[in-house]
C-alpha cells in the first residue's frame, strides 16, 4: 500500500476523522511514530484548510496498534497566514489515545513565498551514492519488517556497522530516504522521514533495544523536490535515562526541508 493511502483520513464531521494503521506499516505490531504523526498531520491539515505542517509536536501516550483509528481535531486559531490545530489520535477499538498533537499549518508553495533573507550555516550530509549505502535489513524487501518494506531506507556504511557488531562510536546516523515507486513525499511524508532511521545510540556501547519516543517536534521548512532525501541525526546528551536526537532533512536540490528534535527513553539494561 502506498504512503498516501496508508495515511489517508476520511472526515466524518465535527472535527472527527476516520483513519487506520494500515497493514504492513507497523514495526513489531506498533506503528512507527513518524507514520502515526503523518496520519494526524493529514487530518489536522484538512481541519486547518491549509496543506502544510510548519511546526508540529506530538506527545506519545500509548502504542498505535494496527487497525482503525479516530483522529479528533480542534482549530485553536485561524489566522491570515497560519492556523493552529490540536489533534488526538485514538485507537477505535478501545478509545485509548495514542498521541496528542499540536501543530501550526500554512501554505509552503514556493510561488507564494514572501521574499526574505536566507542564511544557512550548514550543508547536506556527505553520503556515498544510493547504490553504495546499505539497506537497514539484508533480507529482501518483501521479507523485511513491515514498515521498512514500504520505504527506501539506506544507511551510510560508516553508520551501519551496528548491524554486524562494528559500532562506529559516534552518536550519529546518516542516510538516504525515499518512498517506494517514486511516490511524492510531500510535507506530510517529511513527518515520517524524521522518525524512520535507527536510533543514534545503536552506534555506541549502550543497550540496544526499543527506544520509546516521549516527544517529537518537526519543523517543516519547505516542500521537498522530487527524489531522494539526505538525512542526518545526531545526539549530544545521554542523561537521566533520556536521549535527544536532532535531525536534518535535505532534498535532492540541496535545500533544507525539515528539522526535528526527539526526546526518547533509553532501553533498559538487561
pLDDT digits 0-9 by tens, 234-251: 999 999 999 999 999 999
The three cell numbers of residue 126 are 556527505
pLDDT for the residue numbered 141: 47
CA 247/CA 173 separation, integer angstroms: 9
What is the β-pairing status of strands 242-250 and 229-234?
Answer: antiparallel
Q: Report the candidate in 236, 172, 174 with the shortest Cα–Cα distance to residue 200.
A: 172
Taking residues 22-51, report their average pLDDT. 94
Identify the three-state secondary structure at position 77: strand
CA 49/CA 232 separation, integer angstroms: 31
CB burial of residue 55 (10 Å; 0-12, 13-18, 19+): middle
Q: What is the CB neighbour count within 10 angstroms for residue 110?
A: 9
Torsion-angle region of 266 (φ positive above 0: left; ψ -120 to 50: alpha; else: beta): beta
The three cell numbers of residue 13 are 464531521
Give tens-digit pLDDT for 107-131: 998 876 667 788 889 999 999 999 9
The three cell numbers of residue 37 are 504523526
Of the candidate ranges 46-55, 137-146, 204-213, the one whose mean pLDDT is the lowest: 137-146
CA 48/CA 19 separation, integer angstroms: 17
Q: Angle formed by the axes of helices 186-193 and 33-48, to 10°? A: 150
Using a pLDDT cut of 70, give the percent of the chain over it: 94
pLDDT for the residue numbered 269: 62
pLDDT for the residue numbered 46: 98
How far is C-alpha 257 from the geometric centre of its chain's CA atoms? 13
φ and ψ at 227, to 5 degrees? 120, -175
CB 19 within 8 A of CB 11: no
Mean pLDDT for the chain overall = 92
Amino acid at each position: 500500500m502506498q504512503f498516501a493511502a496508508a495515511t489517508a483520513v476520511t472526515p466524518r464531521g465535527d472535527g472527527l476523522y476516520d483513519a487506520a494503521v494500515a497493514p504492513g506499516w507497523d514495526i513489531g505490531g506498533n506503528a512507527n511514530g513518524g507514520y502515526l504523526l503523518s496520519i494526524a498531520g493529514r487530518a489536522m491539515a484538512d481541519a486547518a484548510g491549509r496543506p502544510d505542517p510548519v511546526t508540529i509536536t506530538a506527545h506519545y501516550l500509548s502504542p498505535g496498534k494496527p487497525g482503525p483509528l479516530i483522529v479528533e481535531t480542534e482549530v485553536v486559531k485561524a489566522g491570515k497566514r497560519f492556523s493552529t490545530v490540536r489533534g488526538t489520535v485514538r485507537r477505535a477499538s478501545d478509545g485509548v489515545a495514542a498521541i496528542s498533537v499540536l501543530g501550526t499549518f500554512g501554505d509552503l508553495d514556493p510561488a507564494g513565498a514572501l521574499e526574505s533573507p536566507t542564511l544557512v550555516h550548514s550543508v547536506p550530509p556527505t553520503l556515498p551514492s544510493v547504490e553504495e549505502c546499505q539497506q537497514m535489513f539484508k533480507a529482501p524487501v518483501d521479507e523485511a519488517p513491515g514498515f521498512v518494506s514500504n520505504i527506501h531506507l539506506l544507511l551510510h556504511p560508516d553508520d551501519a556497522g551496528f548491524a554486524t557488531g562494528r559500532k562506529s562510536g559516534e552518536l550519529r546516523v546518516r542516510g538516504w530516504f525515499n518512498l517506494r515507486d517514486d511516490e511524492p513525499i510531500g510535507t506530510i511524508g517529511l513527518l515520517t522521514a524524521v522518525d524512520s532511521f535507527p536510533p543514534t545510540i545503536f552506534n555506541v556501547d549502550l543497550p540496544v533495544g526499543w527506544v520509546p519516543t516521549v516527544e517529537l517536534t518537526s519543523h517543516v521548512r519547505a516542500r521537498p523536490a522530487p527524489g531522494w532525501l539526505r538525512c542526518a541525526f545526531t545526539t549530544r546528551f545521554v542523561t537521566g535515562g533520556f536521549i535527544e536526537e536532532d535531525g536534518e532533512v535535505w532534498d535532492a536540490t540541496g535545500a533544507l526541508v525539515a528539522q526535528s528534535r526527539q526526546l526518547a527513553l533509553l532501553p533498559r539494561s538487561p
